[in-house]
Amino acid sequence: MLNGIFQPGLVLTGNVTVAVILLVAAFRVLEGGLAVGVLLAVVLSTKRFFSPLETIAMFYNSFQSAQAALEKVSGLLEEVPRVQPPRDPIALPAARGDIAFESVAFSYGSGPEVLPEFTLRIPAGQTVALVGATGAGKSTIAKLLARFYDPSSGAVTLDGVDLRRLSTRDLRRAVVMVTQEAFLFSGSVADNIAIGRPGASRAEIEAAARAVGAHGFISDLPEGYDTDVTKRGGRVSAGQRQLISFARAVLASPAVLILDEATSSLDIPSERLVQAGLAKLLGGGDAPAVRAASAHDGEGSPTAADSPDGARTAVIIAHRLSTVEIADRVLVVDGGRIVEDGTPAELLAEGGRFAALHGAWRDSLK
């Protein structure tokens, strides 16, 4: 506000001053008391006097912007992470994907409990869908599993090991989360997919893209996989960004894959392509190049592809219940508690909350 008043006011003052001097001096020139050259010198001197003041005003605006940015950066650097790495981490180089929530309670800050005494076991290789109304606690479960937060009490375990005891490296290699806000960095499509596993070959990157149905539109881009997506992926659509993020997750080959409304930006044909790719991925049926490459990460550590059945554990959160069709098990969450548990067919036959949600979703498509 100060800059908005000060800088235009300074320009106005300078112009009015020049006009007054020009007017007064012009009368003196007409009277013969002042030479024209002197008039010109006075006017130019006046303009040169106000020019540095205008520069100072512009500098003040830049200084204020820099000061505001510095406050934000300083505030970020002063933040103390709530999720701390363990002092003596337990190594888990080859996670199978067995998940357990053991009497977990959680609340955001000093707010009410979102999960009161939540208990759940997901065997390795099982695909579980979490459904329920907005605010039921589905995304909170996913964030605790990815260890974006730590529970207030209880424990979340992977293969019997508390996530708080796992090193960040092993945890991020074993658990991958795909959200609806697919973020792409400036760089090529291939580079953005390879974030899932740095050092992957071009053949492995393309195999991952084929697995989720992204190869077609990537090939149609001006430079194919070498096309620069620009800042935040502005060169591709929201659905295409989502497919690239899926390919990134496929290339990472995690033991546990979390999908939090990850197909919300896709149209129906693209969603069907992703579902087919996920069915192969979660069932261990990756494209050969991906499966061969995913058996070990960049430094020789085995991953989920080394599990006996090749299947991966998946937790799917979706409001579009078409995504739930690939799930082995559906959990209906309400108020941070599981109120229904079973296969999609079983819960539809029971006519409970899942059947009501499914019916409402079907009606919305008409």
Q: How confident is the model at residue 184 (pLDDT cuts 50, 70, 90)?
A: confident
pLDDT per residue as tens digits for the range 67-93: 999 999 999 998 888 888 888 888 888
Q: How many angstroms separate the Cα of 205 from the Cα of each of 30, 214, 277, 282, 312?
A: 83, 11, 15, 18, 20
> How far from 201 is each of 207, 220, 285, CA to CA, in Å?
10, 21, 20
| pTM tops 0.85 | no
Percent of the chain with pLDDT over 90: 13
What confidence score (pLDDT) does residue 102 get?
92
- Among 72-81, 115-124, 215-224, 293-302, whose mean pLDDT is lowest? 293-302
pLDDT digits (tens, 9 = 90+) for 131-163: 888 888 888 999 999 999 999 889 999 998 999
Token readout for 151 is: 């529970």
Strands 256-260 and 329-334 turn out to be: unpaired
Give me the amino acid identity at 9.
G
pLDDT value at residue 39: 78
Parallel, antiparallel or unpaired: strands 313-317 and 127-131: parallel
Whether pLDDT at 259 is above 90: no
pLDDT over 50 at 294, yes or no: no
What is the per-residue pLDDT for 145?
92
Please choose, from the candidates 92, 186, 101, 205, the residue with its C-alpha nearest in 3D space to the C-alpha of residue 147. 101
User: Per the structure block, which two tokens stand in for 125?
Assistant: 């290789």
- Give me the sheet containing 113-122, strands edge to edge: 113-122, 99-107, 153-158, 161-162
Average pLDDT score over residue span 255-276: 74
Tell me the pLDDT tens digit for each residue of 166-178: 988 889 889 988 8
Which residue's structure tokens are 């760089």?
187
Report the pLDDT averaged over residues 248-273.
Answer: 78
Measure the CA–CA gap between 196 and 194, rounded to whole angstroms: 5
Residue 41, amino acid: A
Beta bridge partners of 100: 121, 157
Which residues are CB-contacts of 161 (< 8 A; sequence separation ≥ 6)? 90, 92
In the three-class reduction of DSSP (H, G, I as helix; E, B as strand; rest coil), residue 313 is classed as strand
Q: What is the pLDDT of residue 285?
A: 46
pLDDT greater at residue 263 or residue 332: 332
The C-alpha atoms of residue 138 and residue 133 are separated, in whole angstroms, by 9
Residue bearing the bigger pLDDT, 338 or 352:
338
The three-state secondary structure class of 215 is helix
Alpha-carbon Rg of the chain, whole angstroms? 31
For residue 177, the 8-state DSSP code is E
More confident residue, 311 or 249: 249
Q: What pLDDT does 277 receive?
A: 64
Beta bridge partners of 315: 128, 258
13-56 pLDDT, tens digit per residue, is: 888 888 888 888 888 888 877 787 887 888 888 877 877 777 77
DSSP state of 86: P
